[in-house]
A = this chain, B = another copy of it.
Amino acid sequence: MPDRAIGSTRYQQLAQEIEQQIVAGVLHAGDRLPSVRQACANRGVSPSTVFQAYYLLEARGLVRAAPRSGYFVTARANGVQLAEPPTSAPHSGPQAVDVNDLVYAILGSARARDIIPLGSAFPSPVLFPLDRLRRALVSGTRRLAPWNMVEDLPPGNLRLKREIAKRYVRQGMAVGPDGIVLTHGAMEALNLCLTAVTRPGDSVVVESPTFYVALQALQRLGLHAIEVPTHCREGIDLGRLAQVIDLYRPKACWLMTSFQNPLGSLMPDAKKKDLVQLLARNEIPLIEDDVYAELYEGNSAPLPAKAYDHRGLVLHCSSFSKCLAPGYRVGWAAPGRWASEVERLKLMTSLSGSIPVQAALAEYLQEGGYDRHLRSLRKSLQAQRNSLFDAVTRNFPEGTRVARPAGGYFVWVELPAGVDALALHRAALAQRISLAPGPMFSARAEFQHHIRLTCGQQWDATLERATRTLARLIGDASPTPRPVQSSI
């Protein structure tokens, strides 16, 4: 196609040729591009020309690099990318919460082991160093004196608190062991923090959509949810948050500032800083659910909002469940000025964490190797995110919108208007595929044509088939019927 190449450099020319092949359907979504070596040989160009061409295609979103595997076509057959969902537009104002029946029905329906877990909240456990953790369980408990089994109870394992504190310090935060309350996973930490800063009847700001666990906590404590518009890349809308604060005087915010569940959004650093300042001006505590922070792309972890908090107003909650030791149930809160209140609540509700598993994690962290594990985990999850995103892009019908997550392991999908996510959930389950329908993520059961998909497993033909099945079910459910097929 020399006519299209006029005025182009060699790499632009190469990129255009490949783009043309994609649009023409010569190269299909999911196809691998020739390796750099092959392309050099076939085209008689230098490796740097091939690289530049591939970078250009990647920048245009037409191909994607998969670590150690090469470049793959991501584009839809017609070359048009799916749009991302717009900022959410929830109904405003405080809302009593009643999500439990829905959440339990959905979680309960998808528990069989033969179900393809696109709706799961957990990444695959094979991503974690379970053998090394078991060895740490042995060596860590061997170090314990018998009296540790009762005397460590209220404060928790000090070695583990020190290891956690070190990681705060590495990010420039002044959180010491005394400022950390060990909990049964982040969920207990979040619940205790919410209990510490609210009284029944209060209103609490959450993102829209928000993780259903936040809604369940609000329901349990008799709190009202104020859902604030949130964007799938940049997180909560601070302008609307400021208005909501003026209008309703919420008693707290519960936000996921990095890799929000379900959106995958990552608030930029400057925005996190603005958030903390806005809340500080209004003396509103921020409960920061930061369990996905380690699952970032690139070279450095995003800072939490906590890093910009100089007044103890951020109650930072995290755990090892998503990045190291699922099932161990070890989390923590760094509750700022509420540290002693949260410690008391912890003492009152479940006394203390499990001493052996705390000792195991302390041992593991002290031995080193955690950062190496995290690098490998991040690489796996990035590939899995790309694969799921690409599969949605390739297979889902026109009118689908999909958010490209910046980290974590969820992909948020807005289906064509009129597709009922709950009906889709039922139809998918009949095909042994789970998904998380949008209404789980809203106090008003909004997001009725949205779903959250999970990329917690290595991508394979089964998952590829599952997304195609979903695509077909979505097509079947779309209000505009497809042309009737002749049947016998």
Contacts and interface: CB of A to CB of B under 8 A. Distances in A.
Nearest to A183: B350
A170 interface: no
A329 B348 contact: no
B100 A344 contact: yes
Given A111-B151, A125-B147, 10 more contacts: A100-B348, A111-B154, A124-B146, A125-B146, A130-B149, A134-B138, A327-B354, A327-B356, A354-B354, A356-B357
Nearest to A130: B146
A116 interface: no
Interface stretch (A53-61, A185-193, A203-211, A264-272): A185-193
A134 B130 contact: no
A467 interface: no
Given A113-B147, A216-B348, A356-B356, A327 B188 contact: no
Interface in A148-163: 148-154
Interface in A328-360: 328-330, 344-345, 347-357, 360
Interface in A385-404: none
A168 interface: no
A153 B188 CA distance: 14
Contacts of A345: 220
A239 interface: no
A141 interface: yes
Contacts of A355: 327-329
Going nearest first, the 8 A-B pairs with the smallest beta carbon separation are A149-B327, A327-B355, A125-B146, A122-B150, A188-B350, A184-B350, A125-B149, A329-B354
Binding site secondary structure of chain A: helix
Contacts of A353: 184, 329
A311 interface: no
Interface string A152-184: 111000000000000000000000000000011
A181 to B, nearest CB: 13
A71 interface: no
Contacts of A154: 107, 111
Given A152-B327, A329-B352, A126 B111 contact: no
Contacts of A107: 154
Interface in A412-455: none
Contact of A354 (B128, B217, B328): B328
Contact of A349 (B220, B327, B351, B354): B220
B150 A327 contact: yes
Contact of A326 (B149, B220, B344, B347): B149
A263 to B, nearest CB: 22
Contacts of A34: none
A344 B104 contact: yes
A200 interface: yes
A240 interface: no
A328 B350 contact: no
A220 B348 contact: yes
A465 interface: no
Contacts of A356: 134, 137, 327-328, 356-357, 360
A91 interface: no
A142 interface: yes
12 contacts: A111-B151, A120-B150, A124-B146, A125-B148, A126-B146, A134-B356, A137-B138, A152-B327, A153-B327, A187-B349, A187-B351, A329-B355
A122 B153 CA distance: 10
Contacts of A120: 150
A117 to B, nearest CB: 9
Contacts of A360: 356
Interface string A228-267: 0000000000000000000000000000000000000000
Given A151-B113, A184-B184, A191 B349 contact: yes
Interface string A26-56: 0000000000000000000000000000000
Contacts of A111: 151, 154
B137 A125 contact: no
A327 B122 contact: no
Contacts of A326: 149-150, 153
Contacts of A347: 104
Interface in A448-475: none
Contact of A150 (B125, B147, B152, B213): B125
Given A138-B138, A150-B125, A329 B349 contact: no
Contact of A350 (B150, B153, B187): B187
